[in-house]
Amino acid sequence: MLIPVRCFTCGNLIADKFDDYQTKLKSGEDPEKVLNDLAINRYCCRRMLLTTVETIQQVIPFYESIQKRKQEVQSELD
């Protein structure tokens, strides 16, 4: 999923901080400390980063199965 460029509530720019946030989280740092280090103080902006989910990994299997089924149907028609 693409991170929104700006916070939906206050309009603060947040997309430029997302890569740093993800990198630090994957290295095992505490999310609260990471958000404080990135100077994200408003709870609405914090929510934007905390609730972002990478949904593309969940969608890919369905897309692949649809493509496979499409090929099967096409081969049956031929």
What does the block give as tokens for 61?
A: 């299997």
**Measuring CA to CA, how many Å separate 75 from each of 6, 40, 48, 71?**
46, 54, 45, 6
pLDDT tens sequence across 54-75: 777 788 889 889 999 999 999 8
Q: CA end-to-end span of the chain, whole Å? A: 37
User: What is the residue extent of each domain of the chain?
Assistant: 15-77
The three-class DSSP label of residue 6 is strand
What is the percent of the chain with per-residue pLDDT over 90, rounded to a whole number?
A: 63
Residue 73: the pLDDT is 92
The CATH code that applies to domain 15-77 is 1.10.10.60
